[in-house]
Amino acid sequence: MLPVKCIMHDPLPADPSRPFDIGGAVLSALGPDILADDFDMEAAIARLRRDPERDVATALLDQRSVSGIGNVFKCETLFLERVWPWARVADLDDDTLRRLVGRARALMRRNLDGRPRRTHFSLDPRELMWVDERTGRPCRVCGTPIVWGWHPDEVRKSWYCPSCQSVPAGAVVRR
Ligand SMILES: [Zn+2]
């Protein structure tokens, strides 16, 4: 018998730290599905704010906040909105969070055709991304070499432009 995949959408505001126990499997409540036609932006923003001390890149990957954003679209979204991946959620206003989530949603919905993922829509089909996995290559906006760094307690790193994405003075990124 094939294993059954169970995805649970909770209809009520739920505490993301409180797991559900279903038949022995512990599942946490997922955030709103970013690709859904009736995506609930305000619910997503409220969930992103539940852990205001973490960095925004980590928050965007948390499926309990918003369901569906992967690392490529996270990096590309943060670049396109000029937000430094290590900015604390607490330091970003609601409009910025809405722009980030809206941008990720638009990019992902534009990538539903089964073709190679892309966020950089130029005539050259080999140039698919702005920053993701472009280490050392020039930023397409300002020419500064693209760099990357790790996040605390997170296995996925961020690529970013240190000029376009307003790195705070004195900030240290682990590499
Ligand atoms: Zn740049």
pLDDT digits (tens, 9 = 90+) for 80-120: 999 999 999 999 999 999 999 999 999 999 999 988 899 99
Q: What's the pLDDT score for residue 15?
A: 53
Name the pLDDT band for 124 (thresholds 50, 70, 90). Answer: confident
CA of 106 to the centre of ligand 1 (A): 22
Give residue 127 CA to ligand 1 midpoint distance, Å: 16
Distance 48 CA to ligand 1 centre (A): 26
Separation of CA 143 and ligand 1 centre (Å): 6
Ligand 1: centre distance to CA 5 (Å) = 41
What is the pTM (predicted TM-score) of this model? Answer: 0.83
How far is the centre of ligand 1, averaged over its atoms, from the C-alpha of 87 (Å)? 17
* Statement: 20-111+129-160 belongs to CATH 1.10.8.50: yes
CA of 2 to the centre of ligand 1 (A): 48
3-state secondary structure the chain: CCCCCCCCECCCCCCCCCCEEECCEEECCECCECCCCCCCHHHHHHHHCCCCCCEHHHHHHCCCCCECCCHHHHHHHHHHCCCCCCCEHHHCCHHHHHHHHHHHHHHHHCCCCCCCCCCCCCCCCCCCCCCCCCCCCECCCCCCECEEEEECCEEEEEEECCCCCCCCCCCCCCC
In tens, the pLDDT along 136-170 reads: 999 999 999 999 999 998 999 999 999 999 888 88
Residue 12: pLDDT band (50, 70, 90) is very low
Cα 142 to averaged position of ligand 1 atoms, centre (Å): 4
Q: Where are the domains of the chain?
A: 20-111+129-160
Higher pLDDT, 32 or 171: 32
What pLDDT does residue 171 have?
Answer: 85
